[in-house]
């Protein structure tokens, strides 16, 4: 039987994990691994991880480079968004050209 601490830990860890993989705009003619091309988009398959467009040549922490994309390395990787200007929104920390959710 799960106790309250275990349930709270599960809820908190899920709240800060990256979202499920979503369709993303295709960059050039290729899609990241585990995504299939569909016109101007890349659609995730059932084993795809969250992906974002790569900015420059580097990916944020716990994301791996995959062509023109950065792909989360696990389901517990923090959500990354592109940094706009020099600051990140509340509850995000700077990580190169990206902001990672705290």
For the cut 60, the answer to whether the pLDDT of residue 10 exceeds it is no
Q: What does each C-alpha distance from 11 to 40, 82, 93 come to in angstroms?
A: 35, 26, 22
| H helix count then E strand count, the chain | 1, 9
For the cut 90, the answer to whether the pLDDT of residue 18 exceeds it is no
For the cut 60, the answer to whether the pLDDT of residue 12 exceeds it is no
**Residues with Cβ within 8 Å of residue 54, at least 6 apart in sequence:** 65, 67, 68, 69, 70
- Mapped onto helix, strand or coil, the DSSP state of residue 12 is helix
Provide the pLDDT for residue 59.
Answer: 97
pTM, two decimals, is 0.80
User: Are 98 and 87 within 8 A, CB to CB?
Assistant: no
Residues 44, 46, 50: CA angle, nearest 5 degrees: 50
What is the C-alpha to C-alpha distance for residues 99 and 72, in angstroms, rounded to an integer? 14
């Amino acid at each position: 039987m799960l106790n309250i601490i275990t349930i709270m830990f599960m809820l908190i860890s899920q709240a800060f994990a990256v979202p499920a993989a979503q369709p993303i705009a295709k960059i050039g003619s290729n899609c990241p691994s585990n995504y299939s091309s569909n016109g101007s988009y890349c659609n995730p398959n059932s084993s795809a991880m969250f992906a974002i467009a790569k900015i420059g040549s580097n990916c944020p922490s716990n994301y791996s480079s995959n062509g023109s994309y950065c792909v989360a390395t696990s389901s517990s990787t923090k959500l990354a968004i592109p940094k706009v200007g020099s600051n990140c929104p509340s509850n995000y920390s700077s990580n190169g050209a990206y902001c990672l959710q705290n």
